[in-house]
A and B are shown apart, each in its own frame.
Chain A
Amino acid sequence: MRHGVARFVTGFLALPVALYLFYVVWPFAQAAGYSLTNWGGYSDKQEFVGLDNYVRLFSDELIRKAFWHNVFFLVTVPLFTIALALFLAFLLNVGGREDRAGIRGVFGSGLYKVIFFFPQVLSLVVIAVMWQQIYRSDSQGLINGLLMKIGLVEADDPIAFTADPEPFLGVPAVLWWLLFIAVWSGAGFYMVLFSAAMQSIPKDIYEAAILDGAGRFDTFFRITLPLLRDTISVAWVYLGFIALDMYALVFVMTPSQGGPNHASEIFASVLNFTAFQKGQFGYACAMGVALAVFTILLAALQLRITRRERIEY
């Protein structure tokens, strides 16, 4: 019997573990190793340089820029997405008429949910290519075209969108335009998530509050929001990962994949540029390791901050 179990366990684990080791663990381990060398990637020549690459990271102007851009997305993507998603979920669930049974969701909330969820099932690449056309800087672009038609934008001075490095509130405009796409595509999904969480809050809590004379705003801010805390913190962590993953948008939509003039560089784009254009694999791997450490610390930190006793209903 005991022997049979051992054979069964090994048999079931062998293939998945082997695949995972070869295609995931081994590359990561190698990357950590290369980060200590000056390997160029195309030759066999590599020397051990210790922590030189890491020291270099700190004085690298481009990396510093990319770092702050990452931080920008890390703060703004979750913040705006969650705020908008909560607002939409609020309207959907308590925006309806008030009657004897309490406050209702709006009419047709099912349809709204289906529509708002659309962008979530589209691939990031489809979204990026689509928005590239919407953001075009001539009258063929959807937004510029509309604005030109109603006379808000002159034909010889269109909005440059992702080709605009001019800072707005201290951050290059191109980043704000990319942020808008991220929020546009994410809000519906988190709205559905929050909506579901709102609906799993037992009705009698609301009934009690309404009996006590609470209006819809009171019930939302004093009951719903505190009870959604868990869901919101999970959403925050996930959106944090998505924010680190804005690379697809940068890759497809910005001039020279991180431009104009490095105004939209993020870690991933600098890493790819360094590895494949400049041919400094060792240095690129050091960036990757730094990014991984940063990600793990961030995830741990977020889980730590948001951990709290769960309320079971």
Chain B
Amino acid sequence: MSTVTQPSGELARPGRPALRPAPGRGLVSRGRELSGRVFNGFSHLFLVVWAVMVIYPLLWVVMSAFKDDSEVIREPLSLIPDELHWDNFTRAWGEGHLGAFFLNTLLVLVGSVFLTMLLGSMAAYVLARYEFPGNRLIYYMFLSGLTLPIYLAAVPLFKGVYNMGIVLPLLGPNRHLMLILVYVAWSLSFTVFFMHSFFRTLPDSIAEAAMVDGASHSRLFFSVMLPMSKPGLISIGIFNVLGQWNQWYLPTLLMQSVAGEPKNQVIAQGLIELSVNQGYRSDWSGLFAGVTMAMLPVLIVYIVFQRQVQSGLTAGVSK
């Protein structure tokens, strides 16, 4: 199941002679060729239809972001704006606070992804390669987090964070550091699960050689094992970046203002608020601009690194 990244053609066993055409094939395949052509045309038709269904809504949102409000209302369907209203973006960035949301998201993600990867692989490594009493217990404890719905923990989690904030204000509600730690804790399950199976596959001989050369346990981990796990780290890294970037429930729950201070919202949370508030002061073009700004960076990163992202995410499922 882990061969998803390999290109197919080269998978065939080495040393196999090239396939010869079937005997008499030239005679039978007249009719089949025709049906093949029809089928080929049908395939393209359907694939194009689906591609349009994926792209058209995205394009429509991006293009609407360049219209002014009156044009959004007058010509809602057109894909080509009369002129490019860049001011929608500056308005969403400033008055819509998207700039602040972006900054918050960035601050949280830098810390949380780094810590998730570090702590997750540390725990997975120890659990995968060292025998000690309680090993299985801890592993299954991490694993159980995969099946539990986050909503169940909502109330006590908020209460725990709130109480923590009374003792240590930096870890209270509406604090970046708190959100970082919460993200890390909730991402550990899958990260440990994924890296655990990865560390298991690493050969023992290299570890032994390093130990003979006098490397300490932690040095063995940081300078031998971790670099060897790079493919796994990339997969799980992409998974965590996207997963935490997309997180909306935890921030909505935890980044609430307690003492009347402004909320430190992340981008997903901010967008929800922006769209819910549309009823009161409708700034359609601003909303479209906001969605566009939340959408385009990820799409561009994806298009540039599409091979890695596709294989990283599908490997995450098929492990």
Binds B, one of A74-82, A166-174, A292-300: A292-300
Report the separation of the CA atoms of residues A130 and B54 in the bound assembly, to the nearest whole angstrom.
12
Cβ–Cβ contact A24 & B145, under 8 A:
yes
Task: List the A side residues contacting B72 at CB < 8 Å.
Answer: 140
Query: Is residue A159 contacting chain B, with contact meaning CB distance below 8 A?
Result: no
Task: List the A side residues contacting B96 at CB < 8 Å.
Answer: none
Cβ–Cβ contact A295 & B149, under 8 A:
yes
Task: Please pick, from B39, B50, B145, the residue contacting A88 in the complex, using a CB distance under 8 A.
Answer: B50
* Chain A to chain B contacts (Cβ below 8 Å), 22 pairs: A4-B217, A8-B216, A13-B122, A13-B123, A16-B192, A20-B188, A22-B160, A27-B155, A30-B159, A92-B43, A95-B42, A112-B51, A117-B302, A117-B306, A121-B302, A123-B248, A131-B57, A200-B6, A202-B13, A207-B19, A231-B318, A272-B151
Cβ–Cβ contact A291 & B153, under 8 A:
no
Query: Is residue A155 contacting chain B, with contact meaning CB distance below 8 A?
Result: no
Encoded as 1 (CB less than 8 Å from any A CB) or 0, chain B from 171 to 204 comes to 0000000000110111011001000000000000
Q: Assess A247 versus B249: contact at CB under 8 Å? Given A9-B126, A91-B47.
A: yes
Query: Is residue B60 contacting chain A, with contact meaning CB distance below 8 A?
Result: yes
Task: Please pick, from B151, B156, B272, the residue contacting A291 in the complex, using a CB distance under 8 A.
Answer: B151
Report the separation of the CA atoms of residues A235 and B51 in the bound assembly, to the nearest whole angstrom.
22
Task: List the B side residues contacting A295 at CB < 8 Å.
Answer: 147-149
Q: Assess A215 versus B32: contact at CB under 8 Å? Given A129-B291, A200-B4.
A: yes
Query: Is residue B55 contacting chain A, with contact meaning CB distance below 8 A?
Result: yes
> Knowing that A130-B61, A200-B8, A234-B1 are A-B contacts, what are 10 other residue pairs whose CB atoms are under 8 Å apart, sorted by A's residue number?
A5-B132, A16-B119, A25-B141, A26-B156, A26-B160, A95-B40, A114-B303, A134-B57, A145-B76, A285-B155
Report the separation of the CA atoms of residues A179 and B214 in the bound assembly, to the nearest whole angstrom.
58
Query: Is residue B29 contacting chain A, with contact meaning CB distance below 8 A?
Result: yes
Cβ–Cβ contact B147 & A292, under 8 A:
yes
Cβ–Cβ contact A5 & B217, under 8 A:
yes
Cβ–Cβ contact B318 & A234, under 8 A:
yes
Cβ–Cβ contact B4 & A197, under 8 A:
yes
> Which residues in window 277-319 of B have CB below 8 A to A?
284, 287-288, 291, 294-295, 298-299, 301-303, 306, 309-311, 313-314, 317-318
> Which residues in window 255-273 of B have CB below 8 A to A?
268-269, 271-272
Report the separation of the CA atoms of residues A23 and B180 in the bound assembly, to the nearest whole angstrom.
11
Task: List the B side residues contacting A278 at CB < 8 Å.
Answer: none
Report the separation of the CA atoms of residues A12 and B19 in the bound assembly, to the nearest whole angstrom.
54
Query: Is residue A49 contacting chain B, with contact meaning CB distance below 8 A?
Result: no
- The closest CB in chain B to the CB of A23 belongs to B185
What count of chain A residues pass the 8 Å CB interface test? Answer: 110
Report the separation of the CA atoms of residues A115 and B36 in the bound assembly, to the nearest whole angstrom.
25
Task: List the A side residues contacting B123 at CB < 8 Å.
Answer: 12-13, 16-17
Cβ–Cβ contact B77 & A118, under 8 A:
no
- The closest CB in chain B to the CB of A288 belongs to B152
Task: List the B side residues contacting A25 at CB < 8 Å.
Answer: 141, 145
Query: Is residue A223 contacting chain B, with contact meaning CB distance below 8 A?
Result: no
Task: Please pick, from A115, A204, A252, the residue contacting B16 in the complex, using a CB distance under 8 A.
Answer: A204
Task: List the B side residues contacting A197 at CB < 8 Å.
Answer: 1, 4, 318
Encoded as 1 (CB less than 8 Å from any A CB) or 0, chain B from 54 to 78 comes to 1101101100100000001100110
Query: Is residue B120 contacting chain A, with contact meaning CB distance below 8 A?
Result: yes
B306 to chain A: closest CB distance in Å?
5
Query: Is residue B212 contacting chain A, with contact meaning CB distance below 8 A?
Result: no
Task: List the B side residues contacting A4 at CB < 8 Å.
Answer: 216-217
Report the separation of the CA atoms of residues A101 and B25 in the bound assembly, to the nearest whole angstrom.
12
- The closest CB in chain B to the CB of A299 belongs to B147
Cβ–Cβ contact A271 & B8, under 8 A:
no
Cβ–Cβ contact B32 & A8, under 8 A:
no
Cβ–Cβ contact A41 & B155, under 8 A:
yes
- The closest CB in chain A to the CB of B182 belongs to A23
Task: Please pick, from A24, A95, A122, the residue contacting B39 in the complex, using a CB distance under 8 A.
Answer: A95
Query: Is residue A15 contacting chain B, with contact meaning CB distance below 8 A?
Result: yes
Cβ–Cβ contact A28 & B119, under 8 A:
no
Cβ–Cβ contact A126 & B295, under 8 A:
yes
Task: Please pick, from A5, A8, A96, A292, the residue contacting B43 in the complex, using a CB distance under 8 A.
Answer: A96
Query: Is residue B230 contacting chain A, with contact meaning CB distance below 8 A?
Result: no
Task: List the B side residues contacting A146 at CB < 8 Å.
Answer: 77
Cβ–Cβ contact A203 & B8, under 8 A:
yes
Q: Across chains A and B, which 4 residue pairs bring their CB atoms closest together, nearest first?
A: A95-B43, A288-B152, A199-B8, A23-B185
Task: Please pick, from B60, B119, B295, the residue contacting A142 in the complex, using a CB distance under 8 A.
Answer: B60
Report the separation of the CA atoms of residues A266 and B188 in the bound assembly, to the nearest whole angstrom.
27
- The closest CB in chain A to the CB of B28 belongs to A213
Cβ–Cβ contact A20 & B149, under 8 A:
no
Query: Is residue B33 contacting chain A, with contact meaning CB distance below 8 A?
Result: yes
Cβ–Cβ contact A203 & B147, under 8 A:
no
- The closest CB in chain B to the CB of A257 belongs to B276
Query: Is residue B170 contacting chain A, with contact meaning CB distance below 8 A?
Result: no
> Which residues in window 3-53 of A have CB below 8 A to B?
4-6, 8-9, 11-13, 15-17, 19-20, 22-28, 30-31, 34, 41
Cβ–Cβ contact A230 & B1, under 8 A:
yes
B300 to chain A: closest CB distance in Å?
10
Report the separation of the CA atoms of residues A244 and B301 in the bound assembly, to the nearest whole angstrom.
29
Query: Is residue B207 contacting chain A, with contact meaning CB distance below 8 A?
Result: no
